[in-house]
């Protein structure tokens, strides 16, 4: 198969798969998700993503019954069925189940649904420079949960696209939180800085990797909120996600940024690429675009 979809045990090409109208995702977006990449049929940082998925389930009180080993097996089995061993996006979500529309939770005998898709999707080349815009963060106060309610991020991503940009940086007042579908960090005065893990940002797996890689590379780190002014004046601005390991920004709101700590940036990018290649036993550059 060139791609594959899965829903509660049934699988097939993605464009042939369907879900029930009464799945609670349709009415309420009542579910959580996670996603990562597979290269060479090896799913990158799968344990990190699975752990975050189960944390999201717990915070949303979704009684996802499948244990971690079984979920790993389902995901790996689907990846193995896709013929191409190039870069594949592995996405999965669970919803609270299927039942007549009602805001309150369905009866306890209603089981959560599991949907998975695996499809070709290239990684972002590490030397790709991002153009960003800033947008006031009007999302709710549970941004640490990887919920399916993503309308603010959808709208922000559309504004970025209309502006000829790659991502939108959220801020609450003067404090930067994260991007529409990435985390954002800065290098300032030789230190790698990123917002602390609170309910206002998603605990990104790439964010966690970068913190560890910076420390291993001898780069000091600080998990501390920074302002819009600090963002604009930073030596480097970095965007990270599962498919964007460590990409620098060159512009925010039409103004040039970064470019003042190229050696530190290159060291961190090199560490991120080596980590990915060691894990997947493959060449990052081969699958990037």
Domain residue extents for the chain: 4-120, 130-287
Residues 6 or more apart from 61 whose CB is under 8 A from it? 105
Question: Catalytic amino acids?
Answer: 146
* Whether 200 contacts 143, CB under 8 Å: yes
Domains 4-120 and 130-287 share a fold: no
- Tell me how long the chain is: 289
With residue 162 as reference, give the H or E element that holds it.
helix 151-162
The tens digit of pLDDT for each residue in 53-62 reads 999 999 999 9
Rounded to 5°, the CA angle 203-132-86 comes to 65
Instruction: Kindly indicate the confidence band of residue 77, based on its pLDDT and cuts at 50, 70 and 90.
Output: very high
pLDDT of residue 9: 98
Residues 6 or more apart from 67 whose CB is under 8 A from it? none
Mean pLDDT, the chain, integer: 97
Residues 6 or more apart from 109 whose CB is under 8 A from it? none
The tens digit of pLDDT for each residue in 29-67 reads 999 999 999 999 999 999 999 999 999 999 999 999 999
Judged on CB neighbours under 10 Å (0-12, 13-18, 19+), 218 is exposed
Q: How many CA atoms lie within 13 A of 255 on its CB side?
A: 10
Judged on CB neighbours under 10 Å (0-12, 13-18, 19+), 136 is exposed
CATH class of the 4-120 domain in this structure:
alpha beta
pLDDT of residue 81: 97
Q: Record the tokens describing residue 169, joined without a space.
A: 């940086």
* Whether 225 contacts 188, CB under 8 Å: no
CATH number belonging to domain 130-287: 3.20.10.10
Statement: residue 289 has pLDDT above 80: yes
């Amino acid at each position: 198969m060139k791609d594959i979809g899965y829903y509660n045990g049934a699988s097939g090409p993605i464009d042939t798969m369907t879900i029930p109208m009464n799945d609670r995702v349709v009415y309420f977006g009542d579910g959580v998700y996670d996603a990562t990449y597979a290269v060479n049929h090896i799913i990158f940082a799968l344990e990190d993503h699975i752990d975050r998925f189960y944390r999201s389930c717990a915070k949303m009180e979704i009684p996802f019954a499948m244990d971690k080993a079984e979920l790993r097996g389902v995901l790996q089995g689907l990846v193995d069925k896709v013929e191409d061993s190039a870069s594949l996006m592995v996405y999965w979500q669970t919803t609270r189940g299927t039942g007549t529309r009602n805001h309150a939770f369905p009866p306890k005998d209603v089981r959560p649904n599991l949907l998975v898709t695996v499809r070709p999707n290239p990684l972002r080349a590490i030397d790709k420079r991002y153009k960003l815009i800033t947008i006031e963060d009007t999302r709710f106060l549970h941004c640490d949960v990887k919920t399916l309610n993503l309308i603010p991020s959808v709208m922000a991503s559309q504004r970025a696209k209309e502006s000829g940009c790659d991502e939108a940086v959220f801020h609450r007042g003067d404090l930067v939180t994260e991007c529409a579908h990435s985390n954002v960090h800065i290098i300032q005065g030789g230190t790698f800085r990123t917002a602390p893990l609170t309910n206002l940002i998603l605990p990104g797996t790439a964010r966690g990797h970068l913190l560890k890689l910076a420390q291993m590379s001898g780069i000091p780190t600080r998990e501390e909120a920074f302002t819009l002014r600090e963002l604009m004046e930073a030596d480097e601005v970095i965007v990270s996600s599962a498919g964007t390991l460590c990409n620098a920004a060159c512009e925010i709101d039409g103004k040039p940024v970064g470019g003042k700590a190229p050696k530190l940036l290159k060291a961190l990018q090199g560490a991120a690429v080596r980590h990915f290649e060691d894990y997947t036993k493959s060449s990052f550059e081969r699958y990037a675009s």
